[in-house]
């Protein structure tokens, strides 16, 4: 699942970015309102974490533009502006939640999960991905096959989510690097091969068909 982070403070941005990636989210980071607006309008994101005091275009103006363009992704404002008037303005402009700096990463995660659950409850079919007897719950972050729960680590879950969203299509290693890690990574390592191997071993159940296939020279495909 990909999150858009719009924050001009490099230290805070890196803190949030690392925290999100550690639990399996991919993160696109914009350091200005202008850049953030472009990401929001051109990309597809599960949610956005938005600062208000941004260079180029302030957060409220950005949020107003996003909602005018009918972009419905949940938005959590993360700002040092803490008055009741500030919070009310943010919510009136279309934010789904408002968290004041300084903040705890644990609380930000909980609020993010809450807005994602609410989005799932109001979007038909948005919560689940299914392929045969394989079932993935996007918002509770659980996976099962043939009724059996499969315990996945964050990166394994992100990889499976991406593969299920593109089931039947071959996805390349470079695409996996971009979508699962979301930042620069050394494509010369065997990290992806190891991750795919671990995921494949967890998905395979005795008596059930193979789902995750390697296509030599091209990448991987999840199919029945």
Which stretches within the chain are classed as H helix? 10-22, 33-42, 59-68, 84-92, 105-122, 154-165, 173-176, 191-203
Residue 17 pLDDT greater than 70, yes or no: yes
pLDDT tens, 128-184? 888 989 999 877 788 999 889 999 988 898 899 889 888 899 998 888 877 776 545
Task: Give the model's pLDDT for residue 207.
Answer: 62
Q: With bands split at pLDDT 50, 70 and 90, how would you rate the model's confidence at 124?
A: very low
Instruction: Give the CATH architecture of domain 2-122.
Output: 3-Layer(aba) Sandwich (3.40)
Residue 125 pLDDT greater than 70, yes or no: no
Instruction: Give the CATH architecture of domain 128-222.
Output: Orthogonal Bundle (1.10)
Helix axes 154-165, 191-203, angle to 10 degrees: 80
- Listed by start position, the domains of the chain span 2-122, 128-222
């Amino acid at each position: 699942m990909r999150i858009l982070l719009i924050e001009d403070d490099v230290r805070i941005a890196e803190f949030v970015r690392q925290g999100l990636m550690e639990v399996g989210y991919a993160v696109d980071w914009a350091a200005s309102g202008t850049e953030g607006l472009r990401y929001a309008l051109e990309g597809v994101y599960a949610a956005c974490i938005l600062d208000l005091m941004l260079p180029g275009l302030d957060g409220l103006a950005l949020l107003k533009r996003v909602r005018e363009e009918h972009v419905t992704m949940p938005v959590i404002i993360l700002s040092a502006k803490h008055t009741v008037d500030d919070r009310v303005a943010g919510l009136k402009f279309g934010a789904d939640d408002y968290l004041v700096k300084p903040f705890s990463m644990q609380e930000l995660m909980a609020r993010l999960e809450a807005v994602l659950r609410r989005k799932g409850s109001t979007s038909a079919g948005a919560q689940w991905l299914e392929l045969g007897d394989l079932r993935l719950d996007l918002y509770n972050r659980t996976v099962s096959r043939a009724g059996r729960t499969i315990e996945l680590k964050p990166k394994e879950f992100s990889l499976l989510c991406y593969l299920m969203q593109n089931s039947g299509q071959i996805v390349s290693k470079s695409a996996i690097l971009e979508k699962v890690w979301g930042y620069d990574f050394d494509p010369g390592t065997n990290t992806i091969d190891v991750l795919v191997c671990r995921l494949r071993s967890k998905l395979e159940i005795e008596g059930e068909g193979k789902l995750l296939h390697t296509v030599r020279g091209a990448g991987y495909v999840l199919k029945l």
